[in-house]
Amino acid sequence: MKDSVRERAQAALQDDYLRNAVKFTTERLRSGKQSAAAELGHWEEWRERGRAIRLHTIAHLDYYLAQFADNARQQGAHVHFAFTKEEAVAITLEIARRNKARSVVKSKSMVSEELHMNEALAEAGIETVETDLGEYIIQLANEPPSHIIIPAIHKNKEQIAEVLSREAGKQLPAETSVLAQFARQKLRQKFLQADIGMTGCNFAIAESGSIVLFENEGNARMVSTLPRTQITLMGMERIIPTWADLEVMATLLPRSATGQKLTVYLSGITGPKRTEDSDGPEELHIIIIDNGRSLQLGDPDFQELLNCIRCGACLNVCPVYRQIGGHSYGSTYSGPIGAVLTPALVKNAAEWNDIAYASSLCGACYEACPVKIPLHDMLVYLRHRTVTKGRPDLQEKLGMKGFRYLMSDYRRLRKALRLGRVGQKLLSRNGVIKAKLGPLKGWHRYRHTQLAAEQAFRDNWPVLKQELNRSLAQADPRIEERLQAWVAKRERGNEYDA
């Protein structure tokens, strides 16, 4: 992997297949989301409700986790807690060993990507097959996911046909139905043979100890019914208190993710197979994983990260993600949520500091987020931490010292503006600046700058002031009245504050 997000982005920007594929699908998803939200109505109220549920749950996470674990155990599930990714992997391997498992079928799970579970199982000699079509494709291509819900979003149909043809041992046409049919036949055998089914967890319901899965392909239902043993990997923040809360989440999640009113399948799983059940696993293990999540608890700037419901809406609206795709972020989670979550999960390690700068801070992520996580603010907080606790860029540090010197006193600023007038003449030709000097290099690679006006506003002010005095219209009593009313309202408001 290349060293910095900038280098990875440069490579991605050269890849037209990737950029077109990402643009095409994110476009479809975000417009789908917009229509779904509009059709439902009261979207802002739904978001507020979703946010309130998540805020409450995370504020009382210890209580709800204990309640969930107690209830799940009462229903016959084995509940494990893993503090680190190594612990989570060790618990999984121990379950596999006891069951003499040789093969695992998996439904989509971002947390398993975070743990690099497939590699760990492969090292232990266990075959692992991804059964979500997108995950299956990138597993065959030996790539990490580039989107939270559409892992192969960066590939077009032709590239997917190529990947599946290699597996098929013959050339498959780039037709969706043929490719899906091939995957279906292939995966059907795997489902029937597998010793362990491994799932993620969209939500865990504390009041009943149940886990809830949203999916469109039916593969998660196969994974959770056919194999004898089921392992569910669950981030410790996936909890919601009640089934009533799920109604709100089920309203927000599919709409935000794909613009669907509901996913094709929605499974609620409470405990392993009971005697009267016709199918289901005989053994159900739920591994609750921390892996850096608890570092956010009590942190006023980042605790809300745990509210995330992993819908991917922030990726679909992000103008940076659209240009560079998910792999440029360099970690399991990409896009705006990834840019914040990745450093947060490893306590803002310096190696991930650069991702926070790959954002124009446009706030589209916040606007799209169904639980209103202020990701655009968190990106600034991360930069602030780099400056105060990390290793900031020296050139930038120097620039900011200069900024402070000029901007703390208007007389210095005025001098600099006058000097700038002289300087820009040296750089310009025919009233336009194209010079690629210092910090102007990147700017002028894509832009030509018009010369600034002869005089700064502050230097022109005495002349303008005279003109304004001459031309000032007579005061309009209605306008006066309105201004006075605004001031009066403000002062009344302040009385209550005091």
Partner 1 sequence: MNVSLFITCLSDAVHPGVGKAIARLLARHGIAVDFPAIQTCCGQPAFNSGYWEEARAAAQTLLAAFDESDFVISPSGSCTGMIHHYFPKLFADDPVQLKKARSLAEKTFEFSQFFVNVLGLERLGARFPHKVTYHPSCHGSRILGVKNEPLTLLQNVEGLELVPLPYAEDCCGFGGTFAVKMSEISGAMVEEKVDHVLESEAEVLVGLDLGCLLNIAGHLRYRGKNLRVMHLAELLEEGVRGQ
Interface segment toward partner 1; rule CB under 8 A; list 96-104, 190-198, 333-341, 462-470: 462-470
Q: Which of 177, 278, 430, 450 binds partner 1 (CB under 8 A)?
A: 450
Task: Name which of 9 and 240 has its Cβ closer to partner 1.
Answer: 9
Helical segments of 141-273, H only: 157-168, 176-193, 219-223, 243-258
Task: Name which of 122 and 485 has its Cβ closer to partner 1.
Answer: 485
Per CB under 8 A, does 496 bind partner 1? no
Residues within window 349-408 making contact with partner 1, judged by CB under 8 A: 357-364, 366-367, 380, 382-388, 392, 396-397, 400-401, 403-404, 406-408
Q: Which of 100, 170, 429, 490 binds partner 1 (CB under 8 A)?
A: 490
Task: Name which of 125 and 493 has its Cβ closer to partner 1.
Answer: 493
Query: Could you tell me the strand order of the sheet in which 449-450 lies?
Result: 428-429, 432-433, 449-450
Per CB under 8 A, does 447 bind partner 1? yes
CA distance 439 to 416: 17
Q: Which residue has the tokens 């409700």?
A: 49
Residues within window 219-278 making contact with partner 1, judged by CB under 8 A: none
Per CB under 8 A, does 17 bind partner 1? no
Q: Closest distance between partner 1 and the C-beta of residue 470, in Å? A: 9
Per CB under 8 A, does 469 bind partner 1? yes
Task: Name which of 15 and 162 has its Cβ closer to partner 1.
Answer: 15
Torsion of CA 221, 113, 305, 288, to 10 degrees: 60
CA distance 363 to 452: 29
Q: Closest distance between partner 1 and the C-beta of residue 86, in Å? A: 32
Q: Which of 448, 492, 495, 496 binds partner 1 (CB under 8 A)?
A: 448
Q: Which residues pair with 283 in a beta bridge?
A: 229
Per CB under 8 A, does 24 bind partner 1? no
CA distance 353 to 385: 9
Strands 210-215 and 283-289: unpaired
Residues within window 416-445 making contact with partner 1, judged by CB under 8 A: 417, 420, 432, 439, 441-443, 445
Q: Which of 474, 492, 495, 496 binds partner 1 (CB under 8 A)?
A: 474
Task: Name which of 268 and 431 has its Cβ closer to partner 1.
Answer: 431
Compute CA 41 distance to the chain's CA centroid, rounded to the nearest angstrom.
25
Q: Closest distance between partner 1 and the C-beta of residue 324, in Å? A: 6
Torsion of CA 473, 475, 479, 485, to 10 degrees: 150
In what helix (H) or strand (E) does residue 286 lie, and over which residues does it extend?
Answer: strand 283-289
Which of 100, 101, 106 shows the shortest CA–CA distance to 130?
106
Task: Name which of 98 and 391 has its Cβ closer to partner 1.
Answer: 391
116 φ/ψ sector (left φ>0, alpha ψ -120 to 50, else beta): left
Task: Name which of 476 and 495 has its Cβ closer to partner 1.
Answer: 476
Per CB under 8 A, does 48 bind partner 1? no
Q: Which residue has the tokens 């194209």?
A: 434
Share of the chain residues as helix, strand and coil, in percent rounded to the nearest 5: 55, 10, 30
Q: Closest distance between partner 1 and the C-beta of residue 337, in Å? A: 17
Per CB under 8 A, does 464 bind partner 1? yes
Q: Which of 3, 158, 277, 480 binds partner 1 (CB under 8 A)?
A: 480
Per CB under 8 A, does 475 bind partner 1? yes
Q: Closest distance between partner 1 and the C-beta of residue 475, in Å? A: 4
Residues within window 307-346 making contact with partner 1, judged by CB under 8 A: 319-320, 323-324
Torsion of CA 16, 21, 27, 30, to 10 degrees: -130
Q: Closest distance between partner 1 and the C-beta of residue 349, in Å? A: 16
Q: Closest distance between partner 1 and the C-beta of residue 314, in Å? A: 13
Which of 276, 275, 267, 277 shows the shortest CA–CA distance to 224?
267
Cβ-Cβ contacts under 8 Å for 323 (sequence gap 6 or more): 9, 12, 13, 19
Q: Closest distance between partner 1 and the C-beta of residue 392, in Å? A: 7
State phi, psi for 74 to the nearest 5 degrees.
-60, -30
Task: Name which of 125 and 462 has its Cβ closer to partner 1.
Answer: 462
Task: Name which of 200 and 312 has its Cβ closer to partner 1.
Answer: 312
175 burial level (CB within 10 Å; 0-12, 13-18, 19+): exposed
Q: Which of 274, 409, 423, 466 binds partner 1 (CB under 8 A)?
A: 409
Q: Closest distance between partner 1 and the C-beta of residue 385, in Å? A: 7
